[in-house]
Amino acid sequence: MLKKRIAVLVSGGGTNLEALLKAERGGMIPHGEIVLVIASNSAAYALKRAENYGVDHAVSEKKVLGAEGFEARIQALLEEHRVDVIILAGFLSILSAEFTSRWKDRIINVHPSLIPSFCGAGAYGLRVHEMALSYGVKVTGATVHFVNEVPDGGKIILQKAVEVKEDDTPETLQRRVMEEAEWKLLPAAAELVCAALAEGKEI
């Protein structure tokens, strides 16, 4: 079976990347193979995680290359590695509509809430969990969706709910959402997309 080639785009510590790499090595993504990690930040610990797993890794920094050069380098790296699917795993740079249109239904992103709740401008990282606690919801979760032209605007692939506890802080809630939702959803969504592409089906 010819596996679909996956690139993971990251900006920070790479815990979601680690979950994907463990899942792949554990046989949970049989139709996909992680062949490249691209970081938007040269200091991202995710690069070390990629190195530890023997995965090719590179950096593209917008502050160094400018917006056009940043995306041009990413595109060149994707083409060089013959990538089929892009996974945004804690990638904090916004990709342009021009870029995402070239990868329609090939870019998947994880968001730490149940979309359409707590998403959109300014809703990322710990802020999402602060918003959930401030609003007083009893259930939150995570969503994996396609990125087509606008953030949080693509078709939802998978969602998983997570309980909010009375004594939660943004940090404890973030950790539970990662452990109970994000780290499970990302590998499952990667396999769904790669399997569909391998079999010539639509998601």
96, 145, 87: which is closest to 116 by C-alpha?
Answer: 145
- Could you say which DSSP state residue 112 is in? S
> What is the per-residue DSSP string for 80-92?
HTT--EEEESS--
Clarify whether 31 is annotated catalytic.
no
Does residue 169 contact residue 126 with C-beta atoms inside 8 Å? no
- CA-CA distance, 32 to 85, in Å (whole number)? 9
Residues whose CB is less than 8 angstroms from the CB of residue 40 and which lie 6 or more positions away in sequence, other chains included:
9, 10, 11, 59, 60, 61, 62, 70, 91, 92, 93
* Helix runs in 26-169, H state only: 46-52, 62-80, 97-101, 126-135
Q: What order do you get walking across the sheet with 107-111 strand by strand?
A: 56-59, 32-39, 4-10, 85-88, 107-111, 139-146, 156-163
Catalytic pick among 31, 111, 129, 145: 111
Active site residues: 111
